[in-house]
Amino acid sequence: MSKQKRISDYVKIGKLPSGELNKITDVKGIRVGHSTIKNEDNRTGVTVILPSEKNMFTNKFEAASFVLNGYGKSVGLIQIDELGLLEAPIALTNTLNVGKVLDAMIEYEIELSAKEDEAIRSISIPVMECNDSDINNIRNRAVSKEHVFEAIENACVDFEEGDVGGGTGMKCHGLKGGIGSASRVIELDGKKYTVGVLVQSNHGYCDDLHIDGKKIGKRILEEAEQAELSEKGSIIVIVATDIPMSSRQIRRILKRVDVGLIRNGSYTTHGSGEVFLGFSTANVHPKDETPFYNATYLNDDYINPVFLAVGEATEEAVLNSMITANQAKTLKGKTIHSLSEYADILEKEFKS
């Protein structure tokens, strides 16, 4: 994969250091895969996040979700919040393909567990969505089982960002949106830990776009009146960490995702669904018959750096989703520009 130009090529977001790739996959064991559909009628796809190299149904992670604004159609979150456990990979797609993607993910999990002589009778699989109907003919429901399995097969550590997979048909702050990621490294008790974020961005007004505190959206509108002002979309945010955290603590850090969104100029409008899912890879809950688990959890008095890391990584992940995405056209023929097309503005603001 050729190196994509990211927001860090223009400006450093926040003060914490990033991981090696500055992606969610800096948390060891995580892989991300896409299947992208681009043809005359459809610009859509599916992204799958594999949190572990093991079968998660028999090796569960502590997890939680947080819904800031519930204008969304995600599935699989109720059990996560009840039990505090993630037992399957996570899929991101468009609104009308949630059911088809869920069906394919169930089939994948049945086949995977059968290889281990594990008979699945019930499983909670998170499938999350944003609406890409401005760019994609969503009623075609173009994502099939084959695309889901392709995304899983394509899963890797150094994955592509932008208008790929579930982010193919997305818009963000009036420009092209999509899949973006970032990570932060913090030190706790003399050991380094990673917080990683992946977003599917489809929200925000161009006029409100801020980058590192500067009103870049207004500058773009001064030069390009064709940038969209409307906001109809949503954002899905996945937060992962290798810090030992309970589901209660994961839910707490998810509430800080909005810090990053606000820094970029979002204020969570009526029609924008902000749905967040987080997990920790530190404490694995295997399927066994023991009555008690032995687990280590972070002392809440030391959680502030994690809050900061989540806010910074979210802020940068959204910007990465925009600057790595290519220009697209709506079904009505209107051009949706990429943030990368305004690199001269970024150069002038941050490198002068």
pLDDT digit string (tens) for 290-303? 888 889 999 999 99
Residue type at 337? H
Is 133 designated active site? no
Name residues whose C-beta falls within 8 Å of residue 99's C-beta, 6 or more positions apart in sequence: none
**Domain membership flag for residue 9:** no
**Domain membership flag for residue 2:** no
**Domain membership flag for residue 178:** yes
Instruction: Report the domain count for the chain.
Output: 1
**For residue 171, what are the β-bridge partners?**
176
Higher per-residue confidence, 352 vs 257: 257
The predicted structure's pLDDT at residue 234: 94
The predicted structure's pLDDT at residue 18: 98
**Domain membership flag for residue 130:** yes
The predicted structure's pLDDT at residue 228: 57
Tell me if 321 sits within 8 A of 178, measured CB to CB: yes
Name residues whose C-beta falls within 8 Å of residue 209's C-beta, 6 or more positions apart in sequence: 173, 174, 175, 215, 216, 217, 220, 264, 265
Q: What is the CA radius of gyration of the chain?
A: 19
* CA pair distance 104, 145, nearest whole angstrom: 5
Task: Single out the catalytic residue among 234, 247, 280, 340.
Answer: 234
Which domain range does residue 245 map to? 15-285+297-351
Q: Which two tokens stand for residue 104?
A: 């394919």
The predicted structure's pLDDT at residue 2: 56
Give the CATH number for residue 137.
3.60.70.12
Q: Where do we find the tokens 């990465």?
A: 320
Residue type at 234? S
What are the pLDDT digits (tens) for 88-138?
999 999 999 999 999 999 999 999 999 999 999 999 999 999 999 999 999
Is 74 designated active site? no
Task: Single out the catalytic residue among 272, 280, 338, 340.
Answer: 272
Task: Single out the catalytic residue among 62, 161, 231, 274.
Answer: 274
What are the pLDDT digits (tens) for 43-101?
999 999 999 999 999 999 999 999 999 999 999 999 999 999 999 999 999 999 999 99
Its pTM stands at: 0.97
**Domain membership flag for residue 325:** yes
Q: Which two tokens stand for residue 147?
A: 């695309």
Is 122 designated active site? no
Handedness of CA 136, 320, 304, 32 (dihedral sign): positive
Q: What are the C-alpha distances in Å from 18 to residues 5, 48, 216?
A: 16, 23, 23
**Domain membership flag for residue 217:** yes
Cβ of 122: how many Cβ atoms within 10 Å? 6
**For residue 211, what are the β-bridge partners?**
214
Q: Where do we find the tokens 């420009």?
A: 175
